[in-house]
Amino acid sequence: MTTAKQIQSKTVNEVRNLAVDLTDKLDAGELLTGTPSVSSTPAGLTISNVAVTTSTLTILGTSVTTGQAVTCSVSGGSAGTRYTLTLQCGTDATVSQTLEVICLLDVT
């Protein structure tokens, strides 16, 4: 399983918007599609507004084209905990794929 390059952080009281680039996992001409899912281990985060990007974003200094990243909002959590977010999303390939990426989030 691939781990996203960035390690995000937030305080217990913050709501943090996350964006994860899946470009490296996509085949040429392939885009993300459908409704992605994001879950956390351990439990305790509230994850909302999960979506495939509908406009170009800059993630870690790189311009990421529409349909090649997933965004979500994260709130809650326990201070001093590192959460592992598991993101899954389908693609529009002729034989559809389901891609999975791990993103780390530290709550301080």
The range of the structural domain enclosing residue 50 comes to 2-107
Question: What's the rounded Cα separation, in Å, for the pair 62 and 15?
Answer: 23
Helices (H) and strands (E) in the chain, counts: 0, 9
Q: What is the CATH number of the domain that holds 12?
A: 2.60.40.10
Exposed/middle/buried for residue 38 (C-beta within 10 Å: 0-12, 13-18, 19+): buried
User: pLDDT, tens digit, for every residue of 64-107?
Assistant: 999 999 999 999 999 999 999 999 999 999 888 999 999 999 99
What 3-state DSSP class applies to 23?
Answer: helix
DSSP assignment, residue 54?
A: S
Domain count, the chain: 1
pTM of the model: 0.90
Sheet of strand 32-41: strand arrangement? 2-10, 98-107, 81-91, 32-41
User: pLDDT, tens digit, for every residue of 2-48?
Assistant: 888 778 899 999 999 999 999 999 999 999 999 999 999 999 999 99
